Amino acid sequence: MTTTTMVNTHSGDVSRHDLPTQNPCAQCGAPIAWPDWIEPGQGRVSYLWTCHACNYRFEAIAIFDEAGALSPPLAA
């Protein structure tokens, strides 16, 4: 099976500087360099992580308060 990182394609307006890095695995605690998938939503961002040390996959969701949930301005 081939593993593909889709961060660049599906990150929307999230720059690489805004990505969470070195997130610990939810099962074994090993650091994970960056998420496999990022899905921005209204007031939240979902991250799909895969640990290459133990092959555990999990999702983490960041939920923002109302001030952080405002949509970015659209380009003219």
Place 75 in a pLDDT band, splitting at 50, 70 and 90: low
Q: Where are the beta strands (DSSP E) in 1-76?
A: 23-24, 31-32, 37-41, 44-50, 57-63
Q: According to DSSP H, which parts of the chain are helical? A: 7-10
**Which tens digits make up the pLDDT trace of 5-54?**
444 434 445 555 667 888 899 999 999 999 999 999 989 999 999 999 99
1, pLDDT greater than 80 = no
8 Å CB contact between 32 and 49: yes
SS3 27: coil
Confidence (pLDDT) at 22: 87
8 Å CB contact between 24 and 32: yes
- pTM recorded for the entire structure: 0.62
Confidence (pLDDT) at 21: 84
